[in-house]
């Protein structure tokens, strides 16, 4: 490879891109249904603990592996640990990215459809939202078409490159997303009866703890922070030498959790305020499952004044969040093929397109495949990837490299005091916790 490797152009652009990867359907579609299922506030407490105790350290680990190697996810392990089986961790990551794309793109397609339904006003006419969603699910060709549209849209940004495609789009889309979200939160909180939703989110009921809450929350943390598959690693390979890795990981995690909580503060208060039967609201939300956002939420909006505007805004928000994430997922796979198989970006992208379209079609056609891809990636592949990444950064990686990366070669003083805690977490805490939670979740 003689071509100079790309980097992000500005600090703001870099944080926007990494936060854009993290903030996605995971925050707005997956988080509310997992929260409802996990008993509300209890789930959120465990989720935040997961982010603090191993999410952030693991993100730093991915950052330093990526920046010190300046290579794709598999190439990074290749460079830092030549001729060892560690490269399989990178390869597993690329595979995971592919698996996630397979079901994620289908949901992106639903989002586009609901945005169109909102803008054209047809969503306003709906009386049975469950039937409305099922009509979309039953229309297989339409789902495949919508999915393919989103795949091509994503590919356009990948094709435009790191600065012109990934960075520029994130710099525009992320602020828009925040703005839309804030407007929606204000609207939801001003509904009468919104209080119930806020209590559900923030007042824990310890009687309701489910045995799988730890695995669910950990899987959600990995998924939402884009960890455990080399995505943050790949983006960090485009970071500049003077980027403060610890600070960036904290910023990205903070932005991501904020968006998840804000999304919760749109959905739960509206649900509690607008429900006709407060006694069954929680079980209704749980039953909503992945359909929560496409059945319950439009139903709620429809009871509000100006429902068209609110739902159009909401589904636009969802599509934007999803797009910056699909871009990051597709970049991981594309740069892997490009660098490891030494082909041009265009050619690499072409192979990725074919693969994603095939897998996306499979999960659009079969709900079972869809569920398997969702569960396997979040609850198995990402935690396993995260486990090995933390073992690699904690035990294998040369201490010198870790120190240089964390302190930017001695320039960041805080980096040194962080070093000890960091290596304790990556050596012991994170691997043991991930393993225990994983086994417990599988048995329980």
Residues at the contact surface with ligand PHE, assessed by CB under 6 A: 21-22, 24-27, 100, 223-224, 226, 229, 231, 325, 328-329
Nearest of 230, 196, 239 to residue 17 by alpha carbon:
239
Residue ranges of alpha helices (H) inside 121-167 are 129-138, 140-160
Residue 334 Cβ vs ligand PHE, minimum distance, rounded to whole Å:
13
The size of the chain, in residues, is 444
Nearer to ligand PHE, 299 or 360 (CB): 360
List the one residue out of 244, 438, 224, 419 whose CA is nearest residue 328.
Answer: 224
Residue 434 Cβ vs ligand PHE, minimum distance, rounded to whole Å: 16
* Residue placing its CB nearer to ligand PHE in the complex, 65 or 231: 231
Residues in Cβ contact with 9 at an 8 Å cutoff, skipping those fewer than 6 apart = 163, 167
Nearer to ligand PHE, 117 or 328 (CB): 328
CB of 101 to ligand PHE, least distance (A): 9
Please report how close the Cβ of residue 26 comes to ligand PHE at its closest, in angstroms: 2
Q: Please tell me the distance from the alpha carbon of residue 54 to that of residue 56, in angstroms, as a whole number.
A: 6
Classify burial at 79, counting beta carbons within 10 Å of its beta carbon; exposed 0-12, middle 13-18, buried 19 or more.
Answer: middle
State how far the Cα of 205 lies from the Cα of 228, in Å rounded to an integer. Answer: 31
Give 213's contacts (C-beta < 8 A, 6+ positions apart). Answer: 38, 39, 42, 43, 46
Between residues 47 and 223, which has the closer beta carbon with respect to ligand PHE?
223
By beta-carbon proximity to ligand PHE, the closer residue of 51 and 273 is: 51
* Separation CA 322–CA 324 (nearest Å): 6
Q: How far is the CB of 324 from ligand PHE (least distance, A)?
A: 9
* Closer residue to ligand PHE (CB): 92 or 308: 92
Is-contact 378 218, C-beta < 8 A? no
In the complex, minimum distance from the CB of residue 443 to ligand PHE, in angstroms, rounded to a whole number: 26
User: Helix %, strand %, coil % for the chain, to 5?
Assistant: 85, 0, 15
Cβ proximity to ligand PHE: between 328 and 407 the closer is 328
CB of 416 to ligand PHE, least distance (A): 30
């Amino acid at each position: 490879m003689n071509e100079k490797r790309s980097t992000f152009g500005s600090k703001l652009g870099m944080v926007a891109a990494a936060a854009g990867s993290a903030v996605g359907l995971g925050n707005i579609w997956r988080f509310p249904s997992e929260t409802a299922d996990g008993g509300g506030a209890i789930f959120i407490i465990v989720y935040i603990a997961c982010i603090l105790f191993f999410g952030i350290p693991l993100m730093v680990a991915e950052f330093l592996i990526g920046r010190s190697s300046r290579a794709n996810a598999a190439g990074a392990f290749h460079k830092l640990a030549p001729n060892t089986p560690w490269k399989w961790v990178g390869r597993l990551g690329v595979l995971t990215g592919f698996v996630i794309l397979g079901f994620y793109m289908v949901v992106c397609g639903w989002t586009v459809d609901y945005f169109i339904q909102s803008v054209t006003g047809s969503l306003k006419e709906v009386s049975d939202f469950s039937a409305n969603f099922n009509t979309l699910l039953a229309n297989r060709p339409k789902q495949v078409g919508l999915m393919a549209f989103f795949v091509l849209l994503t590919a356009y940004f990948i094709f435009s490159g790191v600065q012109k495609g990934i960075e520029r789009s994130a710099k525009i889309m992320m602020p828009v997303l925040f703005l839309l979200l804030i407007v929606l939160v204000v609207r939801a909180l001003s509904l009468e009866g919104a209080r119930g939703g806020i209590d559900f989110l923030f007042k824990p009921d310890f009687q309701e703890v489910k045995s799988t809450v730890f695995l669910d929350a950990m899987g959600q943390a990995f998924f939402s922070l884009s960890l455990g598959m080399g995505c943050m690693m790949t983006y960090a390979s485009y970071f500049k030498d003077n980027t403060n890795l610890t600070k960036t990981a904290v910023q990205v995690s903070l932005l991501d959790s904020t968006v998840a909580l804000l999304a919760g503060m749109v959905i739960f208060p509206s649900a509690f305020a607008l429900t006709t039967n407060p006694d069954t609201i929680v079980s209704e939300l749980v039953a909503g499952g992945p359909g929560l956002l496409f059945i319950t939420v439009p139903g709620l909006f429809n009871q509000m004044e100006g429902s068209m505007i609110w739902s159009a805004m909401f589904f636009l928000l969802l599509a934007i969040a999803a797009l910056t994430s699909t871009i990051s997922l597709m970049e991981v796979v594309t740069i892997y093929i490009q660098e490891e198989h030494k082909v041009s970006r265009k050619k690499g992208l072409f192979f990725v397109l074919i693969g994603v379209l095939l897998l996306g079609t499979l999960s659009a056609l079969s709900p079972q495949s869809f569920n398997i891809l969702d569960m396997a990636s979040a609850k198995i592949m990402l935690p396993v990837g995260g486990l090995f990444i933390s073992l690699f950064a904690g035990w294998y990686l040369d201490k010198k490299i870790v120190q240089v990366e964390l302190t930017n070669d001695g320039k960041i003083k805080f980096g040194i005091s962080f070093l000890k805690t960091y290596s304790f977490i990556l050596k012991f805490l994170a691997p043991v916790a991930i393993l225990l939670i994983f086994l417990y979740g599988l048995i329980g």
